Amino acid sequence: MTITADHAATHATAAPTAPAASLLSARPHPAGHERVEVVRGARSGLVMMVAVHSTRLGPALGGCRLWHYDTVDDAVADALRLSAGMTAKNALAGLAHGGGKAVIMAPDEPLDADRREAAFLDLGDLVASFDGSYVTAEDVATGSADMAVVARQTSAVVGLPEADGGHGDPGEYTARGVHSALLAVLPRIRFASPEGLRVTIVGFGQVGSRLARMLVEAGAVVSATDVNPARRAAVEELGATWVSPADAHRLDTDVFVPAGVGGMLSGTVIDELRCLAVVGPANNQLAEADGGDRLAARGILYAPDYVVNAGGVIHLGSPGSSREEVLAQIDALGARLDEVLALAEAEALTPSRAADLLVARRLAA
């Protein structure tokens, strides 16, 4: 593992500079990861990192999230976890990509436009240093406009604005894939359609809000929440019911949808869930390794997140495919989830373990 600091050019159009002194030299090598870089951007002064978990199937593909962490250790841990999840997601989606992830540590104060631009120029330099082995994209709190800034420093970026010839926001494609997966789950919880289905969505961002609209239009009874209380108006305007973020997981519901940041399904939350199934787009939903076992013990059907939320990465990772071909791949995520659940039943495994087994088989092929 290479961990460096102060890696960036001194102006927007300069070539990337070589990495400087180590920022986290005492950290142990993360087992299973091919390369990790942690740097402080020269323009922005923000700590950022890229973790490449695997290039076994092709260049690592995974988005960049801008998030506040209490410590650099916490940010690195998130990058490592997320990049490993991307390996699994891309493998089960059938993409010729491995898994990677970028994280920028957000400061306590909001970024103004100039510092935000500086941060993504710094990220562009960091991504360029991977020489094509990592391709970045948007993720939590980042967007296509940010990727356009990254593209000034490297071509290893997808999800640029459509006006710039890019793929645009992948949110609608992720939501479409979640919807396909949810439909695949319905027969297993004795529903013929979404009509009358009670769904609780935690996280009302680009994906959660789109999914909510699709479900409301199909006749589902939707409750939703978000850590940002300003989104309450959007929830109620859609015809959904706003619930408290702290109490959402305790609501009587049929399908619980984690659609925010990862790690929501802690042991405590799992014990308090009152649902038949968990199907959501959030990455790394299980806070502990035994989360899948705990859900199964409670009789709650869990749809592994990296199967459910692959719609966006299919959209971004299929540059040579037509829109119709991409949509067909995304709509097939329900069939892919069926394959996972059938294997789980046949082999007496939890869905999480069955999905991991299918990933291992693809990586070994």
Q: Just list the catalytic residues.
A: 101
203 is in an annotated binding site: yes
Question: What one-letter code names the amino acid at 363?
Answer: L
63 is in an annotated binding site: no
H/E run at residue 50: strand 47-54
278 is in an annotated binding site: no
207 is in an annotated binding site: yes
208 is in an annotated binding site: yes
- Pairwise CA distance, residues 143 & 287, whole Å: 26
| DSSP codes, 216-277 | HHTT-EEEEE-SSGGGHHHHHHTT-EE--TTTGGGS--SEEEE-SSS--B-HHHHHH---SE
- Pairwise CA distance, residues 59 & 61, whole Å: 6
Question: At 159, phi and psi to the nearest 5?
Answer: 85, 25
Token pair for 268:
């405590």
206 is in an annotated binding site: yes
Determine contact, residues 150/41, Cβ cutoff 8 Å.
no
Which residues contact residue 150 at a Cβ distance below 8 angstroms, ignoring those fewer than 6 apart? 64, 120, 121, 123, 124, 127, 136, 157
Q: How far is CA 107 from CA 46, 112, 146, 162, 227, in A?
A: 8, 11, 17, 29, 18
- Pairwise CA distance, residues 92 & 263, whole Å: 21
- Pairwise CA distance, residues 130 & 49, whole Å: 12
- Pairwise CA distance, residues 234 & 209, whole Å: 8
Binding residues, as ranges, are 203-208
Binding residues for NAD(+), as ranges, are 203-208
